[in-house]
Each structure stands twice: as C-alpha cells, then as structure tokens.
Amino acid sequence: MAQVSFGVLNPPRRILMGPGPSDTHPRVLSALAAPTVGHLDPYFLQVMNETQQMLRQVFRTQNELTLAVSGTGSAGMETCVVNLVEPGDRMVVGVNGVFGGRMVDVARRAGAEVTVIERPFGEVFTVEEVAEAVRKARPKLVGLVNAETSTGAWQPLQEIARVVHDAGALLVADTVTSLGGMPMETDGWDLDAVYSGTQKCLSCPPGLAPVTFGPRAIAAIEARKTKVASWYLDMTMVRNYWGQDRAYHHTAPINMNYALREALVLALEEGLENRWARHKRNHLALKAGLQALGLQYAVAEGNQLPMLNAVLIPAGVNDVAVRGQLLNEYGIEIGGGLGPMKGKTWRIGLMGETCHPRNVLTLLAAMERCLTAQGVKVAPCAGVAAANASYAAA
Amino acid sequence: MAQVSFGVLNPPRRILMGPGPSDTHPRVLSALAAPTVGHLDPYFLQVMNETQQMLRQVFRTQNELTLAVSGTGSAGMETCVVNLVEPGDRMVVGVNGVFGGRMVDVARRAGAEVTVIERPFGEVFTVEEVAEAVRKARPKLVGLVNAETSTGAWQPLQEIARVVHDAGALLVADTVTSLGGMPMETDGWDLDAVYSGTQKCLSCPPGLAPVTFGPRAIAAIEARKTKVASWYLDMTMVRNYWGQDRAYHHTAPINMNYALREALVLALEEGLENRWARHKRNHLALKAGLQALGLQYAVAEGNQLPMLNAVLIPAGVNDVAVRGQLLNEYGIEIGGGLGPMKGKTWRIGLMGETCHPRNVLTLLAAMERCLTAQGVKVAPCAGVAAANASYAAA
C-alpha cells in the first residue's frame, strides 16, 4: 500500500467574524503548544482546579460542579440534557432557532417527552409564554437558549427562571454564544444548568464545553433511577475525575485544557464587566456602520446580541459572492444564515479577541466594497464614518 | 465578585512512559498553535480531507466513512457502539480488562442486551471461545479490545472476524493503544468498525478519536429503525459534515485537527511498517532490561503489547513511592495498574514519540535507582546492559 502524506500545515490568516470560532489570542495558542503532561499528573490536576475556579467566576456561580466537558458546545448541550432527563420525563424546550431545535432532538433521543414552544426565528419568548407552557406540561426540565447563535437573538432568563421554579421544574440555558461577552448570571438568575463553548467570547479554539450544575440539578442527577444514556458525558462519573477523588474516567484533552485556562486568565485579567462593556461598545459601532451601509438587523432592538450581529441580506445581493469576496480578498470570515435563514441573513460576529475596533472598521470598509460590487449604492465611507462617530460618542 | 486569575502556564517537561498520552513531537505542538480558521473554511475542509486520507492509510482501509470524532478515545468507543446497536439488539463483549468492561457499560446504556464473555485480566480470548459465544447469543455485534490498555494484552482478531461474520454478526475493535504502533489491518482482518485515540502511538495530544466503519457497519446504520441515542456522536449526521455535503453538524476542534493531521504526516513520513518495527525493537530492548532488573511481565509471551509493557510490582515494593520518585526525580511518568490491577502492576508505555532508545535506557537506569531505594537487589546497570545488548543484536 503506497503511503501518501501531505505538506506543511499552512492555514491562512483570517479575521474570524462569523458565529464562531473567534480569533485566538497568541497567548492561548502558546498555551496550546505547551508540553503535554499526563491526565493524572499533579500539574494537570492543578490546571483543572484553576480552570474550575475561573470557570465559576465566568459563569458567575458558586456551583461546585463546574467543569469543561471534553467535547465542543453541542456536547455541552447533550451533557446537560442527558444528565437531567430520564426516559419518560417531561421537558419543555423553546425553539426560536436552530439550537433550540437541536435541544429538542437531543432530549427526545434521551427519551424525554418534549413539549415544544415556538417563536419565529429571531424572536424570543415572553415570561408568560413560558409560564403557560410549564403550567400545561408540568415538566421536569425547561430548556431555553440564552443567545441563539443561528439568529442573533438574546433571550432574557431571570424572570423565566422564577416561573419555571414556581412550577417545580429546572431550567437549563444555552449560553454558548453569550458567555464572556455579555451579562450572564448563573446564580443571580438562579439557573440550574448552563452550558457553553470555548470558541465564542472566550476566544479559545473549539474543543471543550464549559458546564455548570446547581444544587437542584445535582439533586435531580442523584435521584436518577436509570443510568445516563451517554457513558462519555455521564456527570456522575466525570465529576469524580474533576472532584476530590480524581478517579480516572477518560483521558482529558490536556492541551485544550491548557488553552482554556489561558483564555480564562485573559478574560479575568480584563475583568468580566470590562469585557462585557467592550462587546457592547464595538457592537454599537458596528451596528451604526452596518445601518449606514443600508443593512437592517434581523432581530428587534433590545434583543440583539452584541457579539452576533444578524443582518438581512439586501434584495438582489448574492450571499455567497459577498462572503466569498470578504474571505478571499480581505481574509474576513462572516457567517451565512443557518437553517431557514440560509441565504437571508449574514451573521457577523464580534466575539472575544475578534471584538476590537480595528476589526469593526475593517469589516465595514470591506463590506462597503463588496456591496458596491453587487450594485448596491453606498455613500463612500458611510459605514466607517458612522462607526467612528459611535466610538467618539461612547 | 472579586475576580481571581492565575499565573503563567508552566507545565513540567515529562517523559510520558505511561499508558498515554505519549510525548508529542514539536511539529505537532507547532501545528496545534497554528492560527485558528473557521470550521467551514475551505482550508479546514482541505485539512479534513487530508486527515481522512491519512487516517485510511493508518487504519489500513478503503472505508470511506473514516474520520476523527470530536472527543477522546472513549468517545470513539461510544460512537461505534451507539451507532451500531439499537435498543434490544444483542451484543457480545469480551471483557479481559477495564476497556472491555467499559464497552459493556456503553452498550447497555444504548439498550443492547449484552452477553459478557470473560477472561482474567491479562489474558485474551481464543477463536473457539468467541465462536461459541456468538453461536449461543446470535448477536448483531461483537466487541473486542485489540490492545487492552489496562493490562497490556494483545488480542488477535483476524480469525475471530471470520467466525463472527460466519454467524452473521459485526465486529467492532478497540485499537486505542495499538493503532500506529503495531500491525492492525482493518480491511485485511475484515473488521467492521474500529476506533482509536490520538494520544497513544499517533503521539498527538488527546482530544480526538479516529474511527472507521466498513460496508456492513454502514448497512447496519442505514437500516436503523431508531435514532442514534447520542446526537453528538450520530454518524448519520457527522458523516455529512466530513463527506461531500459539508453540512454543518457541530464546530469541529480546529486546532486539534491541525495537530492530528501533522501527527499523521509524521507517521506516514516514517512509514507504518518502519514505525511498527521501531516499536517492536524498543519493546524488546525494554523487556530485556526490565527482566534483567527482575521485573516479570503480567502478560504471557506472544500476547504482550510492544507499546504497553505491564510488569508485576515485586513483593514489598511500594507502588506509589516508585512512581513518585520516577516522576519527581527524573520527570518520567509510568502508569499504575487500573481496576483490579491497581497496586499490582506498572504499565510502561513506549508509544509513538516516546518509543525511542534514549527513553528505554533512561527508564531502565532510573528504575534501577528506584528499585534499589526500595531494597531490591539489582546488579549495577543490569537493565541498561541488557537493553544495549538487545539493540546490538537487533
């Protein structure tokens, strides 16, 4: 058998302004490349401890059961759902985008009887809608997406958590896109289980899924009558590896955990509140610029995610051509629409390291060129000027 | 809330001679630290293509459905099992170590009716034992561990595959520890599904699980009446991301895939047969040295894995003290026994980059010192001398 190998790895330099992954800080890349140690090495156990302590700060929680699942964000979703539901358990899931729909699929595979409540893509749920659904369905668990990566919509959760708890249910929240980029309060909002990913506002490459489980969630896990459907994601075992026992479960992705640790150090050096403010400031400037280019947001004012700006593609503009030109001429990645939004929206990310004025201005200048190439009339430098004015006013 | 971050990441330099992870080549670490691109970037799609082509060569297969699952080796096990069994399906699993036992657990969680066949830890199954089990149980799937990481035992599979197929069943093989370090022939042995990990003889940090599915396995997946229990590991969707469609499923661990690609390039540059020969040569030298130090193998001659040397801890010798001295004085990690072998064996790995004469000699010299510190009588330099003689004779 002839053996064929390939040449030198040589990825292009991109500005990652899509829905994630975001740009990675050089310190995080350096951490990735640090020498591998064993998964039971005292040094790695210390890395795990430090990572847990920092994850608790980023999640804004005292939850002991806070750790990084050895998979990407979707593995975090699956971890929360399969640990909290048993076959026959009732669950209510809010579907207003692709990731709510994914949660329904995950829950049904785990044997849950799922009641779906729906809003059109880009909209969010009111407290009353959720209250009514839990009154009717009497679920064990409610799942909502705090930040819908497919639509750019922000779902407030604090009041919803109250009505969910009043009905005796638990609330699991998808914060894959929001964590580290805008206020998200696990304890302050009384969330029972929260999952995220590393490659959005934490700006660590994809590969780990931070999760946290509160006291009610742990009680539900401990009261299970059946084993968790997934061995790999079974928190009753994973917690013994991340906990005091350090019982071997699986071999953790050592270097990915190095990278997450460094990304968390960076986030806390900046300060979470400063980081949230930075995301908001750059979002406002980008928004001013995009609107000056004639692009309209797909989500109503008040529910727009600062780190994920979904805008409607103007009539007559070729989605693929614009994204291709941005990528090939400027090295800028933005995202297309997902699911039913395919061809209808662009998703422009300002996450973590990517969320910087230089990227806002570059994107606006390049987008002007691309729109003009599509025959759209744009006043010269309208986008950049509007963004600069926004920064000046901030 | 006070925000506390931690200092500079500074992992100690280790020689990783445990059961994995193994030492990582500097080129693999450099690849890990290459700039992150998006998971749908044309460059990353090319990386996936190249990785698949190289994985096929390492797995020795033409199987189209060959890819890296976005989790560690145990996620590879779970992927194979949950995609191939449906609730009520019968499966036979051979348990002669921790990882066979794990497969039983995974299969039962997926709803399989599992028949366990057992051999003591360190032993392997005969063709007749497996033939009898499949005659009685009439399973859909048989699971066996080609290389038991917990015991160091090598399970031949070629003839077993024949009797499994004669009975109309499929064979899934755990090659986490063997792949890349000794002959393993997916097509030549007619294996239906094979999984591995990256952190053993491929010497890539942990975080991905190479898997391959043959035609019978794909037919079984396509004939499923129920959805795969795990959304994250559902090959009917994952294959559309790795296949021609490039349909988004989850965000692949970009930088980990860079690293795996580079690790595969290194393996194929060396040549698989040369790599297998290197593992055997160093294993023989290590074995000569360990035996000269009075250490006996826990597995019978003929079934000893070259990359994982399990030896019995001599009576009166303190397991933890010796491993601690090796780690703290020499920076050498070896593994303790797992499961019922805890405190009874050491597992000395010679995997991938670790598998080098300098590490063999260093370990033997350091082990002599540690055994002597435990009161064991050893002729000075007996281990090193025996290893050098083995190399000279090779």
The Cα B363–Cα B370 span in angstroms is: 10
Residue of B nearest to A13 (CA): B35
Bridge partners (DSSP) of residue B332 are: B15
- pLDDT of amino acid B245: 84
- The CATH architecture one would assign to domain A272-393 is Alpha-Beta Complex (3.90)
Give me chain B's average pLDDT, please.
97
Residues of B in contact with A233 (CB under 8 A): 232
- pLDDT of amino acid A245: 84
Name the one residue in this structure whose structure tokens are 């071997």: A248
The Cα A307–Cα A314 span in angstroms is: 21
- Cα–Cα–Cα angle for B182, B186, B189, nearest 5°? 90
The Cα A18–Cα A70 span in angstroms is: 23
CA of A387, closest CA in chain B: separation in Å?
A: 26
Q: Is the pLDDT of residue B276 over 70?
A: yes
For this complex, say whether ipTM is above 0.90.
yes
Q: Report yes or no: A142 and A117 within 8 Å, Cβ to Cβ.
A: no
> How many C-beta atoms surround the C-beta of residue B320 within 10 A?
9
Using CB atoms, pick whichever of B1, B6, B78 lies closest to residue A60: B1
Residues 6+ apart with CB under 8 A from B126: none
Average pLDDT rounded to a whole number, residues A163-184: 98
CA of B28, closest CA in chain A: separation in Å?
A: 8
- pLDDT of amino acid A357: 98
Residues of A in contact with B109 (CB under 8 A): 227-231
User: Is the pTM above the cut of 0.80?
Assistant: yes
Residue of B nearest to A103 (CA): B231
CA of A29, closest CA in chain B: separation in Å?
A: 5
Residues of B in contact with A228 (CB under 8 A): 109
**Residue B47's Cα: distance from chain center in Å?**
23
**3-state class (DSSP) for residue B346:** strand
> How many C-beta atoms surround the C-beta of residue A3 within 10 A?
15
The Cα B64–Cα B62 span in angstroms is: 6
Average pLDDT rounded to a whole number, residues B57-82: 98
| Amino acid (one-letter) located at B85 | V
Q: Is the pLDDT of residue A2 over 70?
A: no
Tokens of A118: 């729906």
- Cα–Cα–Cα angle for B297, B301, B307, nearest 5°? 65
Nearest to A164 by CA among A198, A182, A190: A190
Span B124-139, pLDDT tens digits: 999 999 999 999 999 9
Using CB atoms, pick whichever of A37, A73, A231 lies closest to residue B14: A37
Domain boundaries, chain B: 26-268, 271-393
Confidence band, pLDDT 50/70/90 cuts, at residue A244: confident
Percentages helix, strand, coil for chain B, rounded to the nearest 5? 45, 15, 40
Tokens of A312: 């409607």
CATH 3.40.980.10 fits B271-393, yes or no: no
- pLDDT of amino acid A1: 53
Nearest to B283 by CA among B250, B313, B305, B314: B305
**Residue B188's Cα: distance from chain center in Å?**
19
Is B162 exposed, middle or buried (CB count within 10 Å of its CB: 0-12, 13-18, 19+)?
Answer: middle
Residues 6+ apart with CB under 8 A from A309: A152, A283, A286, A287, A290, A297, A347, A348, A349, A350
Residues of A in contact with B229 (CB under 8 A): 109-110, 229-230
Residue of B nearest to A33 (CA): B29
| Amino acid (one-letter) located at B122 | G
Q: Just give the CATH number of B26-268.
A: 3.40.640.10
Bridge partners (DSSP) of residue B66 are: B212
Name the one residue in this structure whose structure tokens are 């294996």: B191
Nearest to A363 by CA among A391, A322, A394: A322
CA of B389, closest CA in chain A: separation in Å?
A: 31
Nearest to A160 by CA among A180, A187, A134: A134
Name the one residue in this structure whose structure tokens are 């396509």: B222
Span A334-350, pLDDT tens digits: 999 999 999 999 999 99
Nearest to B98 by CA among A101, A251, A136: A251
Q: Is the pLDDT of residue B388 over 80?
A: yes
| Per-residue exposure over A76-103, b if at least 16 CB sit within 10 Å of its own CB, e if not | bbbbbbbbbbbeebbbbbbbbbbbbbbb
Is B339 exposed, middle or buried (CB count within 10 Å of its CB: 0-12, 13-18, 19+)?
Answer: middle
Largest CA distance in chain A: 66
Using CB atoms, pick whichever of B23, B47, B256 lies closest to residue A253: B256
- Residue B304 is given by DSSP the state B
| Amino acid (one-letter) located at B99 | F
C-alpha distances (whole Å) from B370 to each of B65, B135, B286, B375 are 47, 50, 16, 9
| Pairs of residues, one from chain A and one from chain B, whose beta carbons lie less than 8 Å apart | 266
Confidence band, pLDDT 50/70/90 cuts, at residue B2: low
Span A311-336, pLDDT tens digits: 999 999 999 999 999 999 999 999 99
Q: What is the dihedral of CA A107, A109, A115, A119, to 10 degrees?
A: 70
> How many C-beta atoms surround the C-beta of residue A29 within 10 A?
19
Bridge partners (DSSP) of residue A213 are: A65, A193
Using CB atoms, pick whichever of B6, B10, B43 lies closest to residue A11: B43
**3-state class (DSSP) for residue B326:** helix
Span A359-369, pLDDT tens digits: 999 999 999 99
Hey, are the CB atoms on A109 and B271 less than 8 Å from each other? no
The Cα B382–Cα B199 span in angstroms is: 31
Confidence band, pLDDT 50/70/90 cuts, at residue B213: very high
Residues of A in contact with B1 (CB under 8 A): 57, 60
Hey, are the CB atoms on A36 and B21 less than 8 Å from each other? yes
Residue of A nearest to B334 (CA): A38
| Per-residue exposure over B18-35, b if at least 16 CB sit within 10 Å of its own CB, e if not | bbbbbbbbebbbebbbbb
Q: Report yes or no: B134 and B163 within 8 Å, Cβ to Cβ.
A: yes
CA of B260, closest CA in chain A: separation in Å?
A: 11
- pLDDT of amino acid A107: 98
Q: Just give the CATH number of A25-268.
A: 3.40.640.10
> How many C-beta atoms surround the C-beta of residue B240 within 10 A?
14
The Cα A121–Cα B315 span in angstroms is: 68
Average pLDDT rounded to a whole number, residues B327-353: 97
- pLDDT of amino acid B3: 78
- pLDDT of amino acid A253: 97
Average pLDDT rounded to a whole number, residues A262-268: 97
Tokens of A181: 């980029």
Q: Report yes or no: A319 and A346 within 8 Å, Cβ to Cβ.
A: yes
Span B218-242, pLDDT tens digits: 999 999 999 999 999 999 999 999 9
